[in-house]
Each structure stands twice: as C-alpha cells, then as structure tokens.
Amino acid sequence: MPVTSVMGVVTSIIHKKINEEENTILFFGRILEYKGIDYLIKAEPLISEKIPNIKIIIAGSGDFSKYESMINHKNHFEIINEYIPDEKVSELFQKSSVVVLPYIEASQTGIIPIAYAFKKPVVATDVGSLSEVIVDGVTGFIVPPRDSKLLADSLLNILLNKNLKNSMGSAAYEFMKENMSWKGIAQKTIGEYQKLLGNFEKPRYLIGSLQ
C-alpha cells in the first residue's frame, strides 16, 4: 500500500478501539512462500518456552496447508486463513503486541507503515529494503533471514520488556509521521534543496499547502 497517507487509511479502518492482548505476535499478509512463515513456526517453541501464554496470529489469504503439519503447539496459534476486511485489520493490529515479518526475500512492504501507525514495534528480516524503514533497536529489530533462533530472541526481547516495547512503539509512530507521509517526505526534500541552494530559510508556503 502507498505510504503517502498512512494515518488517513488507519483512521478510516478503526471502527472501534481494541485493547492490546499481552504477548501477541502478528503476522499479517498473504500466505506466500517467500514470507518465511515456516521460520516463524519454528521459532514458536523457543518463544513459548519463556512465555507459556504466547499467541501467534497468522492472518491472510493463501494456501496454508503446507504449514499445518509444522505447528507443534496449535494452542499457541490463531490462524485466520482468509481475506481480512478493514475492520478486522484494525482489530488485529490493535490487539497485537508486536508485528513480525520473517521474509526470506522482499523488495518492500506496506505492512510496516500500518504497524507503525498503530504504535507497534516490528521484527523483520534483513531482506530487500526492510532495513531502511526499521531502525534496529529503536523501532524494532532486524534479524538475518532463515534464522528462527534470532527471530525468537528478538521477539522475546520485546515481549519480556514492556518499557522497551512501549518505547519502540512510540518511536515507530514518530518515524512513520516523519518519513512515511507526504508532509514528512516534502520536508526532507525541501531540506535537501535548501542545502544545495545554500538557503536555510524554510519556504513556509510549501509546507503549509500540505496540511
């Protein structure tokens, strides 16, 4: 999804406020092989060993049959294998503690801006441009692809440290506002032009027109 009006999209899909559910991990998006769902499933025993009430939500349409047999502890998973309507999207992101993208390859994704808009930290793999929109240790964690242990360790780091989780969520929201909206992008672009021109006075009329 375009990141140009993330807050507008998020506002439009929030039909009711949902409380966060403790120790809930969300994978959101179409079920496709390159998204590394098998590595998330393999990470679950390492997580549930430390957090017995962990819940991993996997939500999205696509063929999930190949992953069913990989799940050892079905009580730790909530599988929503269908198209997710807007009101359900809002509910899922609001009640999650952290969002995970265990991709083994990718170019970019619209999931991260949505997670940030809901003030959720993100754990993702170092593929494609994902590391460009996750500030490692600030808005979430970046881990190598195909590494279930490091994936589990990073998720545990967030879930076992409430202050870290909250600070990352706040930082993610600020990052989204500054870097994933037309206004934020325009301000950065204008700033670069100012440097090139040697003129550091803000052209206020340009910024104002974006509000």
**Model confidence over 60-91: pLDDT tens digits?**
999 999 999 999 999 999 999 999 988 899 89
pLDDT at position 149, please? 98
Alpha carbons 134 and 130: distance in angstroms, whole number: 6
* pLDDT-derived band at 8, boundaries 50, 70, 90: low
Check pLDDT > 90 for residue 104: yes
Q: Give the per-residue pLDDT at 7.
A: 54
Q: What is the pLDDT of residues 33-70, one digit of tens each?
A: 999 999 999 999 999 999 999 999 999 999 999 999 99
Instruction: Select from 3.40.47.10, 3.40.1190.20, 3.40.50.2000, 3.40.50.300 the CATH code of 6-179.
Output: 3.40.50.2000
Average pLDDT over residues 87-113: 92
Q: What is the pLDDT of residues 183-209, one digit of tens each?
A: 544 454 444 444 454 544 444 444 344
Q: Which amino acid makes up residue 1?
A: M
d(CA 178, CA 181): 7
CA neighbours within 13 Å on the CB side: how many for 89?
Answer: 21
Residues 186, 191, 192: CA angle, nearest 5 degrees: 100
Bridge partners of 123?
A: 100, 141
Which of 179 and 64 is assigned the larger pLDDT?
A: 64
Residue 13's pLDDT band (boundaries 50, 70, 90)?
low
Q: Is the pLDDT of residue 157 over 50?
A: yes
More confident: 158 or 193: 158
Are 128 and 105 a contacting pair, CB within 8 Å?
Answer: yes
- Radius of gyration (Cα) for the chain, nearest Å? 18
Do residues 55 and 76 touch, judged by C-beta distance below 8 A?
A: yes
Q: What local confidence, expressed as pLDDT, does residue 166 receive?
A: 98
Mean pLDDT, all residues of the chain = 85
Average pLDDT over residues 18-25: 96
Domain boundaries, the chain: 6-179, 182-211
